[in-house]
Amino acid sequence: MKVLVLGGGSDIAAAIVARLAVDRTVSVVLAARDIDAATASMCNAAPRVEFIARRWDATDVEHHQAFIDDVFDRYGSIDLVLCAVGMLGHHAGLTMSPVEVDTMIRTNFAGPAAALAAVGKRLKSQGHGSVLVLSSVAGARARKSNYVYGSSKSGLDAFAQGMGDALADTAVEVIVVRPGFVRSKMTDGLDPAPFSRTPSEVAEAVVAALGRGSHELWVPKGLGPMMSVLRNAPRPIWRRIASNR
């Protein structure tokens, strides 16, 4: 299996690759802004997996099409594209400058969406493949402590859903993954939320969903029904609930 990871420094992405490698041969193209960090993360999680690290900046959208084309042309058919780009902005909102808000939106939404647009074209052309897009429960409904992060994830989530619908008549599947709090280097120093999971636990659920017609995946499963209720809660009630996080 050939895998392209966009956002190669992600602990969740590394855990997914490691889980895939348990019962199949996996080769990986790691696309990351910080190649050294991405290499260290992959070596730690999946030491036996062969990979190539390529420098790639999610916000450099002018070069996304050329980069994606080069990966597909150079390495051949890609079976799985894992979009794991993201930066966290917990407890940030009104304290963020306009530049910081713009950076987060471009990193978490605009940049990855532009890359996925290029990916979708190539996968449709080759006639098969899977796309895993790491969204977040934070995108289901924004709260005051992290509404910039939440809105950026919500945008990517909606984009991925629409892209999946656009590819519904092809052999390309798009799965939107919405984890809750994940104990990783991105959340290091934060108090774990209820239903928190490890990257390995997320990876187990993700790999189990591949090829089974899933369009969205909540991790853990109970988050889906819970958020369907909370999304429709009156705003005064939601504010009280969200103020505890």
The residues annotated as belonging to the active site are 149
**Pair type for strands 80-83 and 2-6:** parallel
Q: Are 30 and 52 in contact (CB under 8 A)?
A: yes
CA–CA separation, 172 and 158 (whole Å): 18
Q: Which two tokens stand for residue 144?
A: 């005051």
Q: Which two tokens stand for residue 159?
A: 């984009």
* Backbone angle region of 195, left / alpha / beta, with phi > 0 → left and psi within -120 to 50 → alpha: left
* Backbone angle region of 64, left / alpha / beta, with phi > 0 → left and psi within -120 to 50 → alpha: alpha
